[in-house]
Chain A
Amino acid sequence: MTKSIQIPKEPNMPEYYETVVDKFFFKVRKDYLYSPYDTWASIDGDVATVGVTDLLQRKLGDIAFVETEGPGSLVEQEDRLGALESAKATVDLTCPVTGEVIEVNADLENRPELVNESPYEDGWLLKLRLSDLEADRPGLLSAEAYFTLLQKKANEELHKLKGLKA
C-alpha cells in the first residue's frame, strides 16, 4: 500500500482568485486592495505598493515602456500615477490610494515586460507613504469585489482583449 505524502504548503505563497473568460485566464491576488480602474494596492504599515491588475496588462499586450510619477510627488486617490505604453495603446493609470511616492520600480526601465509577466509581484510600479488610508477606503474594493468586477469587465471587453475594434 502506498503511503500518501503530505506536501507541506510553502509558507507565504500568495493566494489568488482565478477565472477563465473566453480563452483568457485571469487572477486576482486575495490579500490586496483594488481600485475599480484595474490598479491594486498592497498595504504594509503606512507604505502601499501599487501596480496594475492582470486584466489591465492583458488588455494592453506587451508593455514596451513604463512612466510613473517620481519620488517626492504627492498622488491622490484617482489621480494619474503614470502610464503604460504598448503597441496597442498608451493608457493612463489611476492611483488606488493617496500618498507620497517614496520609491519607483527601477527594474521596469530595462524590463517593462515584468508588468505582463508578474503584474502583482515583480511588476510593481510605485511605493507610496500613505496619507490617510481610512479616507481612501470608500474608493477601494476588496479582492473579492474586484474579482467580481474583473469578470464583468472581461466579459464586456472581450473585443479589447482580442485586439479587435469595438
Chain B
Amino acid sequence: MAQDKADPSKYENHLGIPRRLIPWYPTIDADRCTACGKCGEFCLDDVYGNLPDGSYGVVNPYHCEVYCSSCAHACGVEAISFPDRKEIKATIKELRKTYPPG
C-alpha cells in the first residue's frame, strides 16, 4: 500500500512565490539542543531528520510551512528560533513585485 507522503514538488512555491526565496525556516541552538527529537515528531512537513554528521536537525528547510512554528512550541528547551515575522512579511511583499498573485 502506497504511503501517503507529500510530493516534494508541493513545497516548491509559497502562494506563487518560489519557496527558496523566502528565508523562513527553523534554526537550532546547538548549545541548548538535547537531540530529543520532539521537533521532528511534531513536524508534518519532513523538515527534520538525520544530518550527514550523524546529528539530528533541519534537513529540508524549505519544506517548512511559513509562520507555522509548531517545532518551536514542541521543543522543551527553547532551542528553536525563527526569523522575525515582520522581516518575512516585508520580503514577501518585495517578492510580490516579481511574482504577483494569481
Given contacts A36-B15, A164-B3, contact A90 B73 (CB under 8 A): yes
Q: Which residues of B contact A164 (CB under 8 A)?
A: 3-5, 44
Given contacts A157-B6, A162-B4, A164-B3, contact A92 B69 (CB under 8 A): yes
Q: Which residues of A contact B10 (CB under 8 A)?
A: 156
What's the interface size class on A, roughly? 20 to 34
In whole angstroms, what is the CA distance A90 to B70 when docked? 5
Q: Which residues of B contact A88 (CB under 8 A)?
A: 42, 44
A79/B15 in contact, CB under 8 A? no
Given contacts A78-B89, A79-B85, contact A91 B4 (CB under 8 A): no
Given contacts A158-B4, A159-B5, A166-B5, contact A92 B74 (CB under 8 A): no
Q: Which residues of A contact B44 (CB under 8 A)?
A: 88-89, 159-160, 163-166
Judged by a CB distance under 8 angstroms, whether A80 is at the interface is yes
Judged by a CB distance under 8 angstroms, whether A26 is at the interface is no
Given contacts A36-B15, A37-B67, A166-B63, contact A89 B4 (CB under 8 A): no
A156/B6 in contact, CB under 8 A? yes
Q: Which residues of A contact B46 (CB under 8 A)?
A: 165-166
Judged by a CB distance under 8 angstroms, whether A85 is at the interface is yes
Look across to chain A and name the residue whose beta carbon is closest to the beta carbon of B60. A166
Chain B, 45-59, CB within 8 A of any chain A CB:
45-46
A92/B45 in contact, CB under 8 A? no
Q: Which one of B7, B44, B46 has the highest number of Cβ atoms from chain A below 10 Å of its Cβ? A: B44
In whole angstroms, what is the CA distance A160 to B10 when docked? 13
In whole angstroms, what is the CA distance A162 to B5 when docked? 10
Q: Which residues of B contact A156 (CB under 8 A)?
A: 6-7, 10
Chain A, 74-117, CB within 8 A of any chain B CB:
76, 78-80, 83, 85, 88-92, 94
Q: Taking beta carbons and an 8 Å cutoff, which residues of B are in contact with A?
A: 3-7, 10, 15, 42, 44-46, 63, 66-70, 73-74, 85-86, 89
Q: List 12 A-B contacts (CB under 8 A).
A: A80-B67, A85-B73, A89-B70, A90-B70, A92-B67, A92-B73, A149-B15, A156-B7, A158-B4, A159-B6, A164-B4, A165-B5
